[in-house]
Amino acid sequence: MTAFPPISITPYWQALNESMIALVDRVPDEQFNWSPAPDEWNFRGVFLHVAGSRHHWLANAVRDGADTPDFVRLGQTRDGLKDQLAAS
């Protein structure tokens, strides 16, 4: 396995995460399940995908030792979704 040197991404990750969480608050309630086409993901699905991808990355690539939460169930409300994004 190739060892890669550490990189300092913490400030960028924090800014990205804060922006993503702020974006959740910008989506009106009646548009959370909106998608551009029937076969496209809606806003909620995109946010859940981001949270889930990061949870899985931490568990499988970083191996942080934490179990991946049931982010789909926990992210169904606006606050729950923001919590899952923050936790990931």
Q: How many CB atoms lie within 10 A of CB 48?
A: 20
Domain ranges of the chain: 42-88
Here the tokens at position 59 are 């568990």
- pTM, two decimals, is 0.75
Dist. CA 80–CA 87, nearest whole Å: 10
Q: What are phi and psi of 6, to 5 degrees?
A: -65, 150
Digits of tens for pLDDT over the chain (88 positions)?
A: 567 677 787 788 889 889 999 999 999 999 999 999 999 999 999 999 888 887 777 666 667 666 777 877 888 899 999 988 888 7
